Structures are given as C-alpha cells and as structure tokens.
Amino acid sequence: MPEASQKYTFCRTLLNGPSPSHVRELGNSRYPLAMYEQGLAAGESAYDHGGYINIPELPSGVGVRNSCRPEIIEESAYLRILQPAGGWLSAGTLEKLAACAETYGKSLIHFTSGGTIEIYTTREQMVPAVRELNAAGLDVGSTGNDLRCLTACCGPARCDAALIDAPALATYLGQRFIDEQQYPGYPQKVKSGVSGCPNDCTRAMMQKDHSFIGVYRDLPQINSEALLAWQEAGGDLKGLLASCPTEALVWTGSTLAVDPQKCWHCMVCINLCPAIRPGRERGVAWVAGGKYGHRGPQGPMVGYVLVPFIPIKDNDYTTIGDLFGAFLELWADNAQKKERVGDFISRVGPLWVIKELGLNAVPQILISPGRNGF
Amino acid sequence: MNTPDLPAGIMPDYRREIPAGLLARQGSWIWHEILQPGVIRHLAADGSTLLTVRILLPPNGLLSAATLRRLAGWIREYALTGRRTSRQGFEFVGVKPEKLEKLLAELEAAGFPAGGTGKSLHQVKCCTSFVHCQNAAVDAPSIAKVITDFFYRDFLQQELPAPLKISIGGCPNQCGGGVEADIGILGWYESVPEVDEERFLAANIDIGLLVSWCPTGAILTRQVKDGMVVSIDADRCVRCTSCVQVAPEGISLKKRSYVDIAVGGHGGNSYSGPEMAAVVFTRIPARPLEYKAIIDRIEAIINYWRRSGKPGERLAGFIERTGWSSFLEAIGAGGVEEPGDKPSLQTNFRRDLHFRY
C-alpha cells in the first residue's frame, strides 16, 4: 500500500473491514486519491461538470470530468470500451486491458454498472491508447447521444436456462450498428440489452431502452422419467405444483401436465425442477422504453412490450436487426431533444409505434383493453 | 502516415473470449446446482459438468491493473475463461475440479472470497459517485463497502429466504440501479437547484431544452434587460437535476443530500413481472462514512424478512403475501406522508377495497 493513502483519514477507514476495498485498488493505481478523500471529507464530489469531449479521431467513447480542485488534478479523462457481450473476458483480454491501463492510463479499470469498461487516462494519451486497444481487438464508443454498448447475459455457453444465444444476438446487433455506437447522432442515449430467457438476469427490461428477451411459445417440456427420478431423490412435487403462478401444472396422480390455457410461459417450474425444460418454439420478445433514471416525464420505468414473439430460426437475426434499425430511425425522426425512448413511447403511444413500423398489434401486449373512452 | 482511420469500428465478438472446447458445448447444459456458496456446477445432457466460481469484487468494479493481472493469472492456472457479471462481480468459468479447493483458498487469502450465489447477499452494485462523477449526491461505493462489511457473513453463506440484491445509485440518474433492487439506496439532493442569474446570462444556455427537459414544468422563464433568465418553482421541483445537466454554468445544487431506501424491486418475469422498488424510508442522512442510520434500517428489513419469509420467497413476494401495512410497521417505517407520492403522480394509491390489516 503506498503511504499516500495512509495520510487520508476517510480513505484509510475504507481499507478496513473484511470485504474487498475499492480504496485499496485506487491506492494501487495512479488514481489521485486526494480527490476521493476531498469528496468524502466535504460530503460532495470534488469533480465538476465535464462531459463528452470531441477528439477529431474519436467522436465517441471519450469523456472528461472537470475538477473543482485543479491543484490536485486539472481534469480527469476516460475512455469507454465496448465490452464483449455477456461480459466474457478471457485471461488474454484482461491482460491487454491491464497493459493498456498501465501504459496509457492510471493503471485502473472500471467495470461500469451499464456494462462497459472504462480506463481513466488523459486527453493526450487517448488516441495512442485506442490504437493499442484496436490492436487487441477492442474499441471505444458508447458515450453521449449514441447507441450504447449492446449487453447480454452469459448465454447458452454457460447457462442451462438460455432459450436463445443472447450474446450472439448482442454481438450481431453491435456489429451491424457499430457506427451508431461510435458516432453520436441521436436525440438522446439509447441503451440495449439481450437476455436469454424471461428470468432476465441482466434486468434489461428495466435498465435498457431496448431489450430482446428470449421466450418460448409452446409449453414447458416434461420428462416423466426424469420427474420420477427427481421425486425419488427428494424433489418436492407439492411445492412444485404450488409454485406455478397460474396454477397451470396439473398432477393426475401419475403424470404431470401443463394446462395450455393457463400457462403464461414464465420460468418458475423450469427453474425449480430439472425434469421440466423450456419449450422448443423459441424467439425473442421485444420490449422498449426501460430506464432507471429520474429524468423525463416518466421517471424510472419498465419498458413496453412491442412484439411478444419474434421467431428465431437458424441463428438468423436479420429480422430483429431490421426492426431495431427501423425503430431507431423512427425515434430519431420524431423524438424531442433529450427524449429517452420510454418517454417517447409514453407520449406517442405504443400502438402508434407499432403501426408506424408496419407491425401488427397483438392482444398479448395489453393487460386489458382500454378502460377510458377518451 | 500509414495509420488506419479511427474509429476502427470493432464490436468485439464474445466467442473470442471463450475457448473452442467450451464453446462447442454451448447449449448442452440442462441443469445447475450450487455446491457451496460461490461454486456453481452446470450439468450437461451427456453427464459432463462445468464449474463456476463467483467472487466478491471491490465496490463499483474498480480494479487496479495489478488485480486485473491476478484475475487473469487465476484463469490461466485454474479455469477456462472468466466473465464480469451484470452486478459488477466476477466469475471464473470452467474451473478444474481437482484444483477447486486450491483456487478457493487462494482467492480467500487474496481477499476476493467466493460467495454471493443462491440465497445469499449478492454483490452490491453501485455507481462511481465521488470517485469519478460530479453529479453524485452521496458516495455510493463507500456505502456499498460499509454494507458489504456489515452483512459479510450473508455473502459467504446461503441462509437467507431467497437471493438478496442491494443496489446503490448516488443521484437521481440511478446509474447504480437503486430503483431496481430488493433493497435500493437512492441518493437525493435536499434542496431545489439554485439559479445564479449573472452566470446564467453570461453562459450560452439552450433555454428551450432547459424548459422542455424539466419533467414537472418547474422552470419558469423571465425576460430581463440582458436576456432570458429562469427561476425554479420549488413546489413543483422533484430534484431530478436535469436542469443542472443542461446549464451547469448557471444552475447549481446546494450540496446537502440524503438517501431514500426502497424495497421489493425485482427483475424477471416469474410472478408479477419486473417492478421498480418502493420507497419505504426517506431522508436518511448519508454523510460519508456515517452510515449507521442506513445500516440500521437495512438490518430491520433483512431481519424481518429472515424471520418471517418462507423459503424461496424474495423480498417482493414476501411483502405481497404479508401486506405493506404490516411490513412498514415491522421495519419501523413512518406514516404514509413520506412514502406517498407527490400530488402530480398519484399512481400508488389504492383503487379497490382489498384492505389487509
């Protein structure tokens, strides 16, 4: 531990305790710890409004925080790196990120809550740092009013619940819309995420303006032999039957069946019992408008379902890409300045969006028909 | 100069991060079980298995280059590849079963313990706040650190009724996701932003955007000799700080802040579908490192749920079963006035007669 962090009372306190400390990481890098100490001591951040800066070669992926304490640091610039979908990071990629942060940055990496990776650096080092990242197969983007980095859950490479190859779809969309991620030209930021199943572990429906969630349309598949083995091993059948939120699981005394009228195609029984597997007719539900922030007329909101089921055949994502692109164009043409997708759809109505995109509105997108004649 | 044009237009392909052998088994997984806290075993149809070890990272995913190299070293020695989780944690995927014990021991010795799976406290997600952001009202990483320290045992063992996710957002932007978690902590400014008319007039401010971006129409314009100035209607203002983002030169925040605590946010579509968390405690002081008031309230929430929750019942489902009135009473939350919505946004008042007492 460099002695620098020892002279800071607040930072020193945060080194204690059993859980890993961010101050230890900051202290082991060239991050100006005095700035953080200053913030903690004063009860307000020592950084000032900055923003996304324009470096001619780098229209996005670069930003700067101004400083209220220029004697410590004049300003703090950062690069935002597009992350491989699903957060997959091999040893080689981690080492390349470390090398880039050591050579061009402050020897510090930040996994952001939005699903990108940041390196704190200086304006002068940005272009050489990006060239080094490019050589390592990585690139920057995802700042300002642009399409933010496409994120995904871990997908079928590791997960037994994945209905679709979420990181593959995110990678497809990310590659097809790479210019939109690197040249800010939209009314406001637009975040997108892909989750492999309705469990939505990445909370894409809530956090992302656009989410594509893997869904199935037929019924959960029950393997009677496996069910028997599961029961013999102590599986709680009564608990399983009771767990279904729609009471769709029917036990006849010897076999288990799913009532097709009742099943709403969630993951509860599949999560609980290894003898029940998701249906085979798979696709994605398209949800738009989610956001966390208390900005805009709606504040934090869960997105609207625009299309409940877009089939995926043979890993062909062209239809989804076409729809995504068409929506982005519609939104860019019609949104007010700084209007997030959720506020936009709330203003114009999901049905207007669906009609403009030439899609059919299906009853599944409604909780009920309208109850107000106006 | 013979250097390629920037930007280079590279969206990294995740398949490059996964060894071919593992990628070939994609889609073969049919079940998973948690062997011990932090260790997940996936089973394939052919009977083969895959071990994952999930570890606790420092708050906010801040890692020195040296730590990044250690993670890489552990992958090279013990696993096939790694991934950062959507909650700012980290997982080693494809851990060699014969080396599992050694990896766990090394991780513990290095201070990155395995845990946070199943019915435990998961990695606390938070925004960057005072480390690198100007808009933060409170410092989320230090709150995350103090919470993780206090409930550390619950990260290492799986004895809660269900998974517990805590997220912290330092300001109304909620980059940290305080609005979505089982327990969310939301940083707020106490007073409405203030307009410095002289500096406002001197700066070139987009007044149209300033007025239109305010969600409650609280920005009032007024013509003066040298141009247009604005004032902020304190009764309408919801302190979202949008105006400060548009006009940092002329509108500033008096830096007095507090946090709200919200419960019952959940993603996933199993029961009632994704829902934002509901605010149960408001105006809790959060001066850096003086977080006892926050910890006490979170402890009251967790203890009540721990005592009375059924196995597998997330906080949201627990409250739905027992009812808000008894929940608020049990955790010592005040009357309705504070958690009630502002006049313009009455969406959470009852419109049926399903009273529970």
Count other C-beta atoms under 10 Å from residue B262's C-beta: 24
Last residue of a domain, one of B81, B109, B137: B109
CA dihedral of residues A93, A95, A98, A103 (deg, nearest 10): -110
Predicted TM-score (pTM) of this structure = 0.94
Q: Is the pLDDT of residue B355 over 80?
A: no
Q: Does the CB of A61 have a partner CB in chain B at under 8 Å?
A: yes
Residues B203 and B71 in one domain: no
* pLDDT score, position B215: 87
The radius of gyration of chain B from alpha carbons, rounded to an integer in Å, stands at 24
Contact between A125 and A55 (Cβ < 8 Å): no
In a domain, A191, yes or no: yes
For residue B25, list chain A residues with Cβ-Cβ distance below 8 A: 157
Give the residue numbers spanning the domain of B170: 125-190+256-356
State residue B351 phi and psi, 5-degree precision: -130, 20
Residue pointed to by tokens 């981690």: A94
Count other C-beta atoms under 10 Å from residue B118's C-beta: 18
Minimal Cβ distance to B174: which of A268, A293, A298: A293
The predicted-structure confidence for B75-96, as pLDDT tens digits, reads as follows 999 999 999 999 999 999 999 9
* pLDDT score, position B337: 67
How would residue A267 be classed by pLDDT, with cut points 50, 70 and 90?
very high
CA distance B108 to B36: 14
In a domain, A371, yes or no: no
Residues A122 and A72 in one domain: yes
pLDDT higher for B246 or B337? Answer: B246
What average pLDDT does the segment A320-328 reach?
97
How many folded domains does chain B comprise?
3
What average pLDDT does the segment B121-130 reach?
97
Residues A245 and A210 in one domain: no
The chain A residue lying nearest B187, using CA atoms, is A294
CATH of the domain at A327: 3.30.413.10
Enumerate long-range contacts of A98-105, CB under 8 Å, 24 or more apart. Answer: A98/B65, A98/B66, A98/B68, A98/B69, A98/B72, A99/A132, A99/B65, A100/A129, A100/A132, A100/A133, A100/A136, A101/A29, A101/B65, A101/B68, A102/B65, A103/A129, A103/A132, A104/A128, A104/A129, A104/A132, A105/A79, A105/A129
**Type of residue at B286:** A
* pLDDT score, position B122: 97
CATH of the domain at A90: 3.30.70.2500
pLDDT higher for A373 or A365? Answer: A365
The predicted-structure confidence for A196-232, as pLDDT tens digits, reads as follows 999 999 999 999 999 999 999 999 999 999 999 999 9
* pLDDT score, position B356: 65
pLDDT higher for B350 or B33? Answer: B33
CATH of the domain at B23: 3.30.70.3340
What average pLDDT does the segment B26-48 reach?
96
Minimal Cβ distance to A158: which of B42, B62, B275: B42
For residue B111, list chain A residues with Cβ-Cβ distance below 8 A: 20
What average pLDDT does the segment B39-49 reach?
96
Last residue of a domain, one of B205, B231, B252: B252
* pLDDT score, position B216: 86
In a domain, B141, yes or no: yes
The strand pair at B166-169 and B125-126 is best described as parallel
Contact between A153 and A202 (Cβ < 8 Å): yes
Residues A120 and A252 in one domain: no
A340 Cα to chain B: minimum distance (Å): 10
The predicted-structure confidence for B179-196, as pLDDT tens digits, reads as follows 999 999 999 998 899 999
CATH of the domain at B295: 3.30.413.10
Residues B134 and B276 in one domain: yes
Q: Which residues of A267-296 are buried (b: 16+ CB within 10 A; e: fewer)?
A: bbbbbbbbbbbbbeebbbbbbbbbbbbbbb
How many folded domains does chain A comprise?
3
For residue B128, list chain A residues with Cβ-Cβ distance below 8 A: 110, 112
Q: Is the pLDDT of residue B257 over 60?
A: yes
Residues A52 and A117 in one domain: yes
Minimal Cβ distance to A111: which of B61, B212, B274: B61
Complex ipTM value: 0.95
Q: By percentage, how much of chain A surpasses pLDDT 70?
A: 98
In a domain, A175, yes or no: yes
Q: Is the pLDDT of residue B133 over 90?
A: yes
Cβ-based neighbours of A344, under 8 Å, separated by 6 or more: A289, A331, A334, A335, A336
CATH of the domain at B205: 3.30.70.20
What average pLDDT does the segment A236-252 reach?
95
Give the residue numbers spanning the domain of A292: 151-217+281-366
Residues B184 and B292 in one domain: yes
Is A160 within 8 Å of B30 when comparing Cβ atoms? Answer: yes
Largest CA distance in chain B: 80
**Any idea which of A112-116, A161-165, B150-154, B250-254 has the lowest mean pLDDT?**
B250-254
